[in-house]
Amino acid sequence: MALPIGTVLDGKFKIVQILGEGGMGTVYKVEQIGTPPGTPPYYYAVKELLISPNTSEEDRKSAIERFNKEIALLRGLKHPRIAALMLPFQERGNYYFAMEFVPGRSLEKILETTRGPLPEEQVIRWMIQVCEALTYIHTRNPPIILRDLKPGNIMITPDDEVQLIDFGIARRFDANKRTNTENLGTISYASPEHLGSITMPGQRRTAQNPGKLVQTDARSDMYSLGATMYHLLTNYEPDPIQTPPQGSILAKNPRLRTIQLGNKTVCPVEQVIIKAMQQDPAQRFQSAEAMRVALYQCLPNQAAPTTIQIPALTPNATIMVPAMGTTSQTLNGGGAICPKCGFQNRPGAKFCKRDGQPLVQGASIAPPQQRAQPPRAPIRARPVQSAIQARPIQSQPIKARPVQSNGSIQARPVVPASNAGIQARPVQPILARPVTATAVADPQTAFRAGTQALQKRDFPEAIRQFQLARTRGAVNFEALDNLGRAYRQYGQAVRESDQKLYAENMKQAAKHFEEALHIKPDALDAQFQSGMCYRDLKLYHQASSAFKRALALAPNDPAVYYQLGLVASEQGLNTEAISYFKRGLEISPDHALILVALGRLYTEMKNHLPAAIASLQRATQIDPALWEGWYELGRAHMKAREWNFALSALRRALQIQTQSSSLYSAMASCFLNVKKKSDARQMVKEALQRDPQNAEAIRIQKQL
């Protein structure tokens, strides 16, 4: 039985709405109690496991184990399309966990309201977002298999964004197992292997023919996604454990888009569904990223210079969808790659943490100007795997001649000569990847190989290939600009582990950007990149000059004002920094990073605490997932000696970022000031575990 509205759970969550009820418990919408004045109410969803007194001990243990497994899975997931776990707790003998509240409606509810097939293009765009979330969980180590993907577990927010909910029967893939421990799920959307085995096409599963033992893996979620699309586009649940026949989906929804390929009329989205719902996992899409690419190709107005053949019902049959060129992407399950500085941000970030650039779909690669660019997917940048090339280069096993760079510092440098300058740590020379005999003499082939390596974040190989392109005659702006980007991104990748190698690469990056600018002085991105390199090297005069040249090219770019403000503040020129930040906010009032930087400056200035708190509250309202905003807000409240407000803001930061030593030491200081010494000791312990040199934590430890 559901708890009454107004009930307070765990001393901090007040129930305001019942979101759903089931036999094993209830999901509530709750409001957090004790938020600072001026901040809007913050809501969570609380999931309850209610165990009946009549439940057998075996079923009770099984339910608690499954509930705890869901908590353990969610604890490690941080993705904008997955509701985040906040806090597990127990109360009144029942088990609960609080998680991010997702406003909106499930696709199941939308189907019930619409009472008919949903618009094709809208469904495709939603499913592309689902693929992004699946790519993220499938690339965890070990992979996480959702196992219950269906319309009821896909939420659509008021902003038309997808969120996956209910990881209740998700499991971690175990390569050592032959089958699942439990076979659960909703039968209409479950793959054949959900039953523990698969049979050959046309055969029935019987005691005499149990089929081949298998366990669910990432491809099982592909089947469920295809089945979900079938339901959304036809308003019919798919037949359980069946692959739809050719033409059957189009027959149920004749409005689906078709294209003419030769003398054939095909429905691209139907072909994708059929492939996803193959009985044999080997015949399906082998990854969520592969299905995302195919779905993107199904959108109207996509260029189709060639076709991609996709296995269908038999190995000899094919189905076809339009192909596309290389797409922009994010990498390795992380967040968006900044198109200016190449920094890989956290999932869901709206602005690049390093340069303040608004984040859009796209990798940080400057393509040759003479090549037409493929259309970008009109969705926000989200974590997906490396883009699939429509026509990969076939290579022969011959080695390309290693290239020297006229004394420049290599990304993985060789042992230095006795009279050489300071080099990064010596390693073995890197051989270029094999290319065809024709490609050896073709600078464009090396350039393309460099861009592919840069997309895959193989920075040493990208550097080698761009250098090879230069020696083969591609001494142009694009080659120099991308060589600078490769050096810069390699430097960022080793920043925490090897400061010397980081600095060497930054110097090389700045050098190549300057060379590129000699060829094309009005290249805004190269000017910006040059400024970023100089700022990282703490060469503030050069950095300021580069950003001012960028400002002359783009006087209304808030990212440039943000960088100029940072350069000024890092030199202690606070008045100049505030002027730049305010100018950036005039152009982009919702620029959260500028608001945080401005609030941080105000916090350190006399008589500016109200302005600091106002700026930081504004930043957290714009981007609640920006942990630095909550952290700086907590620091501002600490300076105002508003300890409880400070703790509330710091707790919000801790929900997002759990590895910052300074965050724990700030909380320790607050606890010490409100006389909660045991909590302060715990926070000091957490801080020193992450940074044994944390001065604030050491000071508080002495006081305790």
* pLDDT tens digits for range 579-589: 999 999 999 88
Residue 319 bridge partners (DSSP): 310
- The verdict on 91 and 112 lying in the same domain is no
pLDDT at 658: 82
Residue 532 covered by a domain: no
pLDDT at 170: 41
pLDDT tens-digit series, residues 325-355: 333 333 344 455 565 555 555 555 555 655 5
pLDDT tens-digit series, residues 534-570: 999 999 999 999 999 999 988 888 889 999 999 999 9
Mean pLDDT of 178-188: 51
- The verdict on 118 and 92 lying in the same domain is no
CA proximity to 670, closest of 640, 625, 628, 702: 640
Q: What CATH number should be reported for the domain holding residue 59?
A: 3.30.200.20
Please say which residue of 68, 84, 100 terminates a domain: 100
Place of tokens 């809501």: 43
CA distance 400 to 398: 7
Residue 594 covered by a domain: no
What ranges in 200-326 are assigned the alpha helix state H?
Answer: 218-234, 248-252, 268-276, 288-297
- The verdict on 17 and 71 lying in the same domain is yes
pLDDT band, very low/low/confident/very high, at 321 (cuts 50, 70, 90): very low
Please say which residue of 60, 76, 100 terminates a domain: 100
Residue 222 covered by a domain: yes
- The verdict on 113 and 198 lying in the same domain is yes
- The verdict on 172 and 43 lying in the same domain is no
| DSSP per residue, 398-466 | -PPPP---TTPPPSSPPPPPTT----PPP-PPPPPPP--HHHHT-HHHHHHHHHHHHHTT-HHHHHHHH
pLDDT at 561: 92
User: What pTM, to 2 d.p., does this model score?
Assistant: 0.47
Higher pLDDT, 91 or 255: 255
Contact (Cβ atoms closer than 8 angstroms) between residue 357 and residue 351: yes
Mean pLDDT of 647-656: 88
Higher pLDDT, 266 or 310: 266
Residue 459 covered by a domain: no
Amino acid letter, residue 650 = L
Judge whether residue 374 has pLDDT over 80: no
CA proximity to 402, closest of 413, 417, 392: 413
Q: HSE of 142 in the Cβ direction (CA atoms, 13 Å)?
A: 12
Q: What CATH number should be reported for the domain holding residue 313?
A: 1.10.510.10
Count the Cβ atoms, other than its own, within 10 Å of residue 60: 13
Q: Which phi and psi (to 5°) does residue 97 adopt? A: -145, 140
- The verdict on 314 and 214 lying in the same domain is yes
Q: Which of 138-142, 375-379, 419-423, 504-508 has the highest mean pLDDT?
A: 504-508
- Show the domain range for 274: 105-322
pLDDT band, very low/low/confident/very high, at 76 (cuts 50, 70, 90): low
Number of domains forming the structure of the chain: 2
CA proximity to 49, closest of 155, 149, 168: 168
- The verdict on 157 and 234 lying in the same domain is yes
- ω before 558 within 30° of 0 (cis)? no
pLDDT at 563: 92
Residue 295 covered by a domain: yes
Judge whether residue 573 has pLDDT over 60: yes
Give CA separation, 370 vs 261, 477, 513, 575, in Å: 29, 12, 20, 44
Residue 148 covered by a domain: yes
Beta pairing, strands 43-49 & 105-106: unpaired
- The verdict on 86 and 200 lying in the same domain is no
pLDDT band, very low/low/confident/very high, at 455 (cuts 50, 70, 90): confident
Output the average pLDDT for the chain.
Answer: 76
Judge whether residue 151 has pLDDT over 60: yes
- The verdict on 289 and 317 lying in the same domain is yes
150 is in an annotated binding site: no
pLDDT at 130: 92
Q: HSE of 690 in the Cβ direction (CA atoms, 13 Å)?
A: 16
Residue 317 covered by a domain: yes
Please say which residue of 76, 100, 124 terminates a domain: 100
pLDDT at 598: 94
Judge whether residue 437 has pLDDT over 50: no
Mean pLDDT of 648-663: 88
CA distance 350 to 357: 9
CA proximity to 567, closest of 364, 358, 355: 355
pLDDT tens-digit series, residues 483-537: 898 899 888 888 878 889 999 999 999 999 999 899 898 888 888 989 999 999 9
- The verdict on 72 and 187 lying in the same domain is no
Judge whether residue 695 has pLDDT over 80: yes
pLDDT at 465: 85
Beta strands in 597-668 (DSSP E): none
Residue 695 covered by a domain: no
pLDDT tens-digit series, residues 19-53: 877 656 788 899 888 777 777 778 888 888 877 66
- The verdict on 172 and 84 lying in the same domain is no
Judge whether residue 479 has pLDDT over 90: no
- The verdict on 146 and 277 lying in the same domain is yes
Count the Cβ atoms, other than its own, within 10 Å of residue 442: 16
